[in-house]
Amino acid sequence: MDDAIRTSAARKSDVLARLDGDLDAWIATAESGRAHLVPLSLAWDGVTVILATPASSRTARNARASRQARLALGTSRDVVLIDAVVETVPCKAAAQAVAESYQARTGWDPRQEEEDHVYLLVTPLTVQAWRSLAEIEGRTLMRDGHWRS
């Protein structure tokens, strides 16, 4: 891996490439101060990260209650952290575009499952990215839902 410090534009490009290309993201939710972390398959529509999970799962319950989550993509040497607001939508009631985007990306249609599932529509508020200690400064690429220039 290159040790050169990336510009903000290069980091943003790398984040968007991860969102477009990574198969999974780690999602952290919490209830009563207890963190819960699981990997879920993702789709990215250019604005929202779409995840799916059983409606009865701890992740779904926590997301419904708090409407907050943190996503992690990449490795410990190429980190992307996303703090976000979450909307929980029953898969069978979701907009067709959401369901089609998720199915096209993941190859799976949770609407067909016997157990009810929900889509977690994750809208980034803060995005941070870094590859090394040298990139800690300037790691915040999005704040309050707006990309920094």
Strand partners, 53: 118
Over 70: is that where the pLDDT of 3 sits? no
Q: What is the mean pLDDT of the chain?
A: 95
**Residue 65 falls within a domain, yes or no?**
yes
Q: Is 106 part of a structural domain of the chain?
A: yes
What's the domain count of the chain? 1
pTM, entire model:
0.94
Q: pLDDT for 66-118, tens place per residue?
A: 999 999 999 999 999 999 999 999 999 999 999 999 999 999 999 999 999 99
- Which CATH number characterizes residue 52's domain? 2.30.110.10
In a domain? residue 109: yes
Q: Is residue 74 part of a domain?
A: yes
User: CA separation (Å) from 32 to 19, 35, 116, 122?
Assistant: 30, 8, 25, 21
Residue 33: predicted pLDDT: 87
Q: Please indicate, yes or no, if residue 146 is contained in any of the structural domains.
A: no
Q: What pLDDT was estimated at residue 6? A: 94
In-domain check, residue 55: yes
Residue numbers of the domain that contains 92: 8-136
Assigned domain for 1 exists: no
Per-residue pLDDT at 2: 57
Q: 18: which 2 tokens?
A: 């991860």
Give the pLDDT confidence score for residue 4 in this predicted structure. 86
Closest Cα to residue 85, out of 120, 109, 55?
120
Helix (H) or strand (E) holding 43: strand 43-44
**Residue 66 is assigned to a structural domain of this protein:** yes
